[in-house]
A and B are shown apart, each in its own frame.
Chain A
Amino acid sequence: MPMEDERARRRENEFLALLRQGGTVSSGGLFDSGDPALRCLLPECPDPMHVAGDARVAPVLAEPLIPARSVHPGWVVPNLAWRALWLAWAFLRQVSGDDAYERYLAHVARVHPGKPPMTRAEHFAWRQEQKWNRLSRCC
Chain B
Amino acid sequence: MKSSAMGKLMWVVIALIGAWAFGSIATHRGESINAIWFVMAAICVYLVAYRFYSAWICAKVLVLDETRATPAERFNNGRDFIPTNKWVTFGHHFAAIAGPGPLIGPTLAMQFGYLPGTIWILVGSVLGGCVQDMVMMFCSTRRNGRSLGQMARDELGPVGGWAALVGTMMIIVILIAVLGLVIVKAMQHDPWATSTVVATIPVAVLIGLYMRNIRPGRVLEGTLIGIALLIVCVVGGFWVDQTSAVRSWFDWDAKACAWFVMIYGFAAAVLPVWLLLAPRDYLSTFLKVGVVVMLAVAIVALAPDVKMPAMTEFASTGMGPIFKGDLFPFVFITIACGAISGFHALVSSGTTPKLLANEKEIRMIGYGSMAMESFVAIMAVVAATVLDPGVYFAINADFGKTAEETVALISSWGPQYQVTVDQMKTLAAEMGLPSLFARTGGAPSLAVGMASIFSATFGGGLMKFWYHFAIMFEVLFILTTLDAGTRVGRFMLQDLGKHFWPAFGNVSSYPMTVLASLIFVAAWGYFLWQGVTDPKGGIRFLWPLFGISNQLLAGIALTVATGIIIKMGKLRYAWVTGLPLSWLAVVCTTAAVTKVFSPNPEIGFWSGANAIAEKIASGAIPAEKLGEAWAQVIAFRIDAALALLFAILLWVVIADMLRMAYRFISGRPVLPLSESQYERTQLSGQKLSTALH
Contact = CB atoms under 8 A, between A and B. Distances in A.
A58 interface: yes
A137 B278 contact: no
Contacts of A130: 79-80
A28 B75 CA distance: 8
B96 A93 contact: no
Interface string B461-488: 0000000000000000000110011011
A79 interface: no
Interface string A122-139: 011100111111111111
A97 interface: yes
Given A10-B677, A14-B676, A136-B484, A56 B99 contact: no
Interface stretch (B198-206, B586-594, B682-690): B682-690
A15 B347 CA distance: 21
Contacts of A120: 216-217
B166 to A, nearest CB: 16
A136 B87 CA distance: 18
Contacts of B341: 138-139
Contact of A95 (B92, B144, B346): B92
B351 interface: yes
Nearest to B168: A135
B100 interface: yes
Interface in A13-56: 14-15, 18, 21, 23-26, 28-31, 33, 51-54, 56
For chain A, the bracket of interface size reads 35 or more
For chain B, the bracket of interface size reads 35 or more
Contact of A59 (B79, B83, B480): B83
A119 to B, nearest CB: 8
Contacts, number: 170
B141 interface: no
Interface string B213-246: 1001111100100000000000000000000000
B683 A139 contact: no
Interface string A45-74: 000000111101111110000000000000
A7 B74 CA distance: 10
A45 to B, nearest CB: 10
Nearest to A15: B75
B216 A96 contact: no
A96 B223 contact: yes
Contact of A56 (B95, B144, B337, B684): B684
A83 interface: no
A21 B682 CA distance: 27
A101 B144 contact: no
Given A53-B78, A96-B220, A21 B150 contact: yes
B206 to A, nearest CB: 16
A138 B212 contact: no
A85 to B, nearest CB: 15
Contacts of B684: 56-58
Contacts of A11: 74-75, 679
Contacts of B281: 137
B568 interface: no
B79 A28 contact: yes
B278 A98 contact: no
Contact of A94 (B85, B147, B336, B683): B85
B569 interface: no
B683 A57 contact: yes
B359 to A, nearest CB: 13
Nearest to B282: A96
B357 A31 contact: no
B550 interface: yes
Contact of B217 (A15, A23, A100, A137): A100
A128 B550 CA distance: 28
A92 interface: yes
Contacts of B79: 26, 28, 51, 130
Contact of A61 (B78, B87, B351): B87
B394 to A, nearest CB: 27
B278 A28 contact: no
B211 interface: yes
A44 to B, nearest CB: 15
A24 B487 CA distance: 14
Residue in A26, A33, A94, A136 with the greatest tally of chain B CB atoms within 10 Å: A136
Interface of B: 73-85, 87-88, 91-92, 95-101, 144-145, 147, 150, 175, 179, 211-213, 216-220, 223, 273-274, 277-278, 281-282, 286, 336-337, 341, 343-344, 346-347, 350-351, 357-358, 480-481, 484-485, 487-488, 491, 550, 676-677, 679, 682-686
23 contacts: A14-B676, A28-B78, A28-B80, A28-B81, A30-B75, A51-B77, A54-B82, A59-B84, A59-B85, A91-B87, A95-B92, A121-B216, A124-B217, A129-B273, A129-B274, A131-B278, A133-B491, A135-B347, A136-B347, A137-B96, A137-B485, A138-B343, A139-B481
